[in-house]
Amino acid sequence: MDVISRIKDQIENNPVVLYMKGTPDFPQCGFSGRSVQVLRACKADFTFVNIFEDPELREALKEYSSWPTYPQLYIKGQLVGGCDIILDLYNTGELVKLLQDAEAISA
């Protein structure tokens, strides 16, 4: 499977995907760490991809999304954005609505 097919598969088969530096338990940048904190505060069920483990995917995703930085959050197959947008959506209550619509909130 080529890298674009892998990206599409991840995004299409998981309601919420966070492409990040590191892992949720060991984020390797502050922006990724804050994004995880926000998703956890929302009690979101999410899949993550550590971009450091797949350099080919890391470069291809920048072109696929037309978004040059990480983290990148996808909900229901759509790019939501990076850390600043995630925080803004959280602060306005929109992030919870998007996660609920994706049926990605834990009880």
Secondary structure, 3-state, the chain: CCHHHHHHHHHHCCCEEEEECECCCCECCHHHHHHHHHHHHCCECCEEEEHHHCHHHHHHHHHHHCCCCCCEEEECCEEEECHHHHHHHHHHCHHHHHHHHCCCECC
* 50: CATH: 3.40.30.10
| 45 occurs within a structural domain | yes
| 34 occurs within a structural domain | yes
pTM above 0.75, yes or no: yes
Looking at the structure of the chain, the number of domains it has is: 1
Note down the domain range covering 38.
3-101
| 106 occurs within a structural domain | no
Split at pLDDT 50, 70, 90, the class of 107 is: low
| 43 occurs within a structural domain | yes
| 61 occurs within a structural domain | yes
Task: Report pLDDT digits (tens) over 9-43.
Answer: 999 999 999 999 999 999 999 999 999 999 999 99
| 42 belongs to an annotated ligand binding site | no
| 107 occurs within a structural domain | no
